[in-house]
Every structure is written in C-alpha cells, then in structure tokens.
Amino acid sequence: MSDASWINDVQFDDSGLIPAIAQDAGTGVILMVAWMNAESLAETATTKRAVYWSRSRKRLWRKGEESGHQQIVHEIRLDCDGDVILLKVEQKGGIACHTGRESCFFRRLDGDSEAASWTITDPVLKDPELIYK
Amino acid sequence: MSDASWINDVQFDDSGLIPAIAQDAGTGVILMVAWMNAESLAETATTKRAVYWSRSRKRLWRKGEESGHQQIVHEIRLDCDGDVILLKVEQKGGIACHTGRESCFFRRLDGDSEAASWTITDPVLKDPELIYK
C-alpha cells in the first residue's frame, strides 16, 4: 500500500474499491471499466501500466498478464467527487475486451422504448481462445 | 419501471444501481459518471435526455433540471458484463460538472509516485453560483 498523499484524495468505497475507466489516449474510445484498490492504483501510478483489482479472483489484475494486451498509462485523472478514476491509455494489441473486441462497450441500444434491443456493433478482432491460450 | 426486455440485460448492483458514463458524442471527452436505476435508464431511453439516480437526494435526477445543462442522448451502450452504461451525449451549455467545468475529470496526476499530486487542468467556464441560482 502507498502512503502517498495524493492517494488520500481518492474516495474508495466501503469495499475499498473505486471504478476506473480506461480510455484510448489517441482516439478517445472508451475501452473498459474495471475496479481498483489503493494498491493497484499506486502500482499503476508507479509502473505506468494499468493494474486493476479483480473482484471475481480477489487479487491484483495486471491488465495483459495473460492476454498480452497491456495498457500503457499516459494520464491518470480523478473526478470532482474523487470517486472515479480515468486512465488515458495506449492499448497494446488494440483489444481491451475479453471477447476479443477493441472495447467492452460493443452493444448499442437501437429502436424505441419497449421495442428497443441491444445491437452488437463492433467486430471480434481476435478469437478469445487464441488470446487466452 | 419498465418491463422492456432490453432492460433485463442490464446488471444492476445490490442497490439496484448501475454506473453510467456520459461522453461527449462529438469530441469523445468523458464528461462525468453518475448512477442510474432501472427507472432512470428507461426514462433516458424514452426521452433521449440523461436521467440519473441521485444517491444523495435519493430521487431521479433529470440532468439539467436546475442548471439547464441537459444532456441530449445520441447513443446508449452497455459493456460486456452488462454492468456499466455508456451514454454518448450532446452537453447543453458545454458544462457537465457542478464546479462549472466541461468535465468532472479536471484533475490530472502529475509527478512520480510518492511525490505526485493532482493538478487542476481545466478552467471553470461559469461560476457555479450563476449556474445554480
């Protein structure tokens, strides 16, 4: 854990976590949202590689550790309430999502109200079985 | 509440809420993150105006209801896990943040590790006292 003063401005929730948005530093595309604890945020700031906290695996998740799809961190931003982190990153391999897509936000709501449905708009760039081999 | 089938694909948390990112549809700037419940999401889809759930006031928050800074919704997206919403919006007045700035993410971490600190990078475009008069 870091005792750096900047981390005291970060408002972690009751579980000690904060959501972090990863945005492509070049294109502005929102790639994904994951969670960080203080340790993962401190390591991200030091190494300039995105490190999250995996809620399912309950351990640090160094993005790309299995897939090779690391995120090189250009900027770390904090919102006005101090309870959301924004990372501007260079996405290695051009794929952030575990489905093999650039972005996790690949579904768009189309149609009106009750009759609307989610349309998959983004292509799979690489078969996940080849990513996580 | 809506019983539209598309909303069943949305994973609300134990409090019935989901985080929603508002991104400027033109520039890609991430404006803010707020929370939605099913009712606010359904109303957003119907009216094409961003409606959030205010956790502090415990009521629907029709963005711009006091400030006039409405968000006209161009797209609603959902991430792969179904637990984060992305709105692509036109930000009326060019100000999303209650501090009078375009974006809530106006602080950037500068410097290395322990010695780093948050730098305010974005100007106040309008005095909040004039916004919430």
CB pairs under 8 A between A and B: 118
Q: Residue A105 to residues A27, A41, A81, B100: CA-CA distances in angstroms?
A: 15, 23, 24, 28
Nearest Cα of chain B lies from the Cα of A56 at a distance, in angstroms, of: 12
- Cα Rg, chain B, nearest whole Å: 16
- What is the DSSP pairing of strand B107-110 with strand B117-120? antiparallel
Chain B hits for A46, Cβ within 8 Å = 112-113
pTM, to two decimals: 0.95
* Token output for A70: 């690391």
* Residue in chain B nearest A3 by alpha carbon: B114
Q: Is the pLDDT of residue A118 over 70?
A: yes
Between chains, do A76 and B108 touch, taking CB under 8 Å as contact?
Answer: yes
pLDDT in tens, A14-46: 999 999 999 999 999 999 999 999 999 999 999
- One-character DSSP codes across B7-57: GGGS---TTS-EEEEEEETTT--EEEEEEE-HHHHHHHHHHSB-EEEETTT
Q: Is the pLDDT of residue B91 over 60?
A: yes
> Pick from B109, B104, B52, B125: which is nearest to A79 by CA?
B104
Higher pLDDT, A9 or B1: A9
| Count of residues in chain A | 133
Confirm whether the ipTM is greater than 0.90: yes
* Token output for A34: 């994951």
Note the pLDDT of residue A117.
Answer: 95
Candidate from B79-83, B102-106, B114-118 with smallest mean pLDDT: B114-118
Task: Identify which of A79, A104, A116 has the shortest CB distance to residue B80.
Answer: A104
pLDDT in tens, B7-66: 999 999 999 999 999 999 999 999 999 999 999 999 999 999 999 999 999 999 999 998
